[in-house]
Amino acid sequence: MSKVKQESSWKMIAGAAGRQGIETREAFDNWFVQQRLNDPEYFLPRLNQRLEEIVGDGWVFDRSQV
């Protein structure tokens, strides 16, 4: 992963943590483990499901091609 993409990813995760009330590094580290964000086999299916709930039928591309 490029450094720019990695930095953007961390900013997104930090933003999500902040919206959950996470304010310290220790709390962030605990939250990150509790959410299993370091386990793609757990996290990615949940992320995909949530995106489907949010987007519904409003996808701008044919998802079968991805």
The answer to whether residue 52 sits within a structural domain is yes
Backbone angles phi, psi at 57, to 5 degrees: -95, 10
What range does the domain containing 50 cover? 3-57
What does the pLDDT profile of the chain (66 residues) look like in tens digits? 688 888 888 899 999 999 999 999 999 999 999 999 989 999 899 988 988 888 888 777 777 776
Number of domains in the chain: 1
What pLDDT does residue 66 have? Answer: 66
pLDDT at position 1 is 64
At residue 27, the pLDDT reads 96
> Tell me, what's the pLDDT at 6?
84
Residue 62 lies in a domain: no
